[in-house]
Amino acid sequence: MCRGVARALKSGGRFVTVNCNPGLDFSKAPSYRKYGFETSVVGELREGAPITWTFHLADGSFSIENYHLDIAAHEQCLRAAGFNQIHWHGPRLAPEGQAEFGDEHWADFMNHPPAIFLECTK
């Protein structure tokens, strides 16, 4: 996948995506149910371990499965594909969300972000 993305970019091009946070131990993560989803891992978090994300919507729930790869594995693949700058960015709380719900509501998400943003340039 990394090679395919890199091939589609011109030199100096930028790839930005949101990803499952490889720096979070999902086996010890707090509940994210109040944000409309939950994550779970069976057993210890290890390379390749499945992480189940269950999203709770008004008309029902659905689950998807993602697989844990650590930061080093991500960066190794991205560099091998031709990306020379890799930056990880945590989520930022929008002023509107902070005003509506307060800092305490967002504490679990902000202190243990299940998703992270990745910016890579070629």
Give the tens place of pLDDT for each residue, 91-101.
Answer: 999 999 999 99
DSSP state, residue 82: T
48-59, pLDDT tens digit by residue?
999 999 999 999
Q: How many CA atoms lie within 13 A of 113 on its CB side?
A: 16
Statement: the pTM of the whole predicted model exceeds 0.85:
yes
Q: How many CA atoms lie within 13 A of 83 on its CB side?
A: 25
> Is residue 77 over pLDDT 90?
yes
Residue 43: is its pLDDT beyond 90?
no
